[in-house]
Structure 1
Amino acid sequence: MSTQAENLSLGLQGEALAVRYLSSHGYRVVMTNFKVPVGRNRAGAAVTGEIDIVALEHRTLCFIEVKTRRSEAFVPVIAAVDKQKMRQITRTARVYRRLFAVTDMAIRYDVVTVLAPRHAEPVITLTKAFWNEASLKKRVWTSDKWMN
């Protein structure tokens, strides 16, 4: 199996484990692998956004990113969720909320990490409210200071 195919397979396994984990912890999974066009990049090419899992925890709509790795030898699994990824998920979540008319519901951005060594049981970690939309606002330079 090629490295790319192996990574895809590992990612799908991680997402399946995450769905089972979330369901067993009181989440109601609404949708998996929500994909939608979210705009264009600087070169004008269409950009597609994806949210791995959309779920409800009580009355909160959660947009959940799943990251799966075999090892944390070089970097923690959660480090793969960088600011660019957060912005892309946030844009996609806005489209989701607009498409499904979600206007008066609390929302949250969570991350599930799956550490899946080859010869050991996977370790699943849920980080609730890993980021919020306000933390992603771009700062603008004015003559005397940074502005949000």
Structure 2
Amino acid sequence: MRWLESATGIFKRQAGEAKKARIAEDDDETAPHLALGRRGERMAMKFLERTGYRIVASNFRLAVGRNTRGQVIHNEIDIVAYEGVTLCFVEVKTRQSDVFALPESNVDRRKQRQITRAARVYRRMFNLRAVPFRYDVVSVLLPPAQADGSVVPPQLRLLRGFWTEEHFRKRRWLHSPADY
């Protein structure tokens, strides 16, 4: 468990820096959709803690590779947490209405691939390859206040194991060479 203590120290330092940056960003000029997303992520973290998750990091951004032009590609994991011994990579999706689609519908194949790639780098970086892990989604529905001024309570749903890595593994990784 020493690795967890050292990793926690690293995350706390990064969280402090991220919090300072977030405070600087949380001004009146923030785009409404970004403010909504931040609010949803804060609510999701509290929800996960009440559910029994132990939050390790939030908005964890890391370099995952380079594109064809040689530019560094960064991906972000909204929340990294533990539920028991299982490492959970959590994506938070927030919407004001579910008239057209549920919030989790925005976690499409492309987004799943990005998070999976970032999670692989994260697990390699902190030597967590042997730790069980999964990909979760927290769906947050924050309806605006009603015309009469009444406030509709937010709806949060936790979708455990929303996807697996199997979709993104190359065929040669799934089977032994003798199978071909």
TM-score calculated relative to the size of structure 2: 0.72
Structure index of larger Rg: 2
Give the distance between the partners of 1:82 and 1:42, measured in 2 at CA.
Answer: 23
1:96 match: 122
1:21 match: 47
Aligned counterpart in structure 2 of residue 87 of structure 1, from 108, 113, 119: 113
Once superposed, what is the RMSD of the aligned Cα atoms? Answer: 1.7
Query: Cα distance, 1:17 vs. partner?
Result: 0.3
Give the distance between the partners of 1:131 and 1:29, measured in 2 at CA.
Answer: 20
**Structure 2 residue identity aligned to 1:67:** K
- The size of the alignment, in residue pairs, is 139
Show the 5 A alignment for 1:115-130.
115-119=141-145, 120-130=152-162
Give the distance between the partners of 2:32 and 2:157, measured in 1 at CA.
Answer: 22
What runs of 5+ residues in structure 1 fail to find an aligned partner? 141-148
Aligned counterpart in structure 1 of residue 136 of structure 2, from 110, 116, 121: 110
1:132 aligns with 2:164: yes
CA contact (8 A) 1:83 1:136 kept: no
Structure 1 residue matching 2:118: 3-state secondary structure: helix
Give the distance between the partners of 1:9 and 1:53, measured in 2 at CA.
Answer: 17
Give the distance between the partners of 2:168 and 2:109, measured in 1 at CA.
Answer: 8
Query: Percent identical across equivalent pairs?
Result: 48
CA contact (8 A) 1:51 1:65 kept: yes
Query: Cα distance, 1:45 vs. partner?
Result: 3.3
Structure 2 residue matching 1:75: 3-state secondary structure: coil
Higher helix share: 2
Query: Cα distance, 1:8 vs. partner?
Result: 0.8
1:12 aligns with 2:21: no
1:60 match: 86
Give the distance between the partners of 1:57 and 1:17, measured in 2 at CA.
Answer: 18
What runs of 5+ residues in structure 2 fail to find an aligned partner? 1-27, 146-151, 173-180
Higher relative contact order (CA 8 A, sep 6+): 1
Residue deviations 1:99-138, cap 9 Å, x none? 1111221000000010000121110000000001112235
Show the 5 A alignment for 1:28-39.
28-39=54-65
**Structure 2 residue identity aligned to 1:33:** N
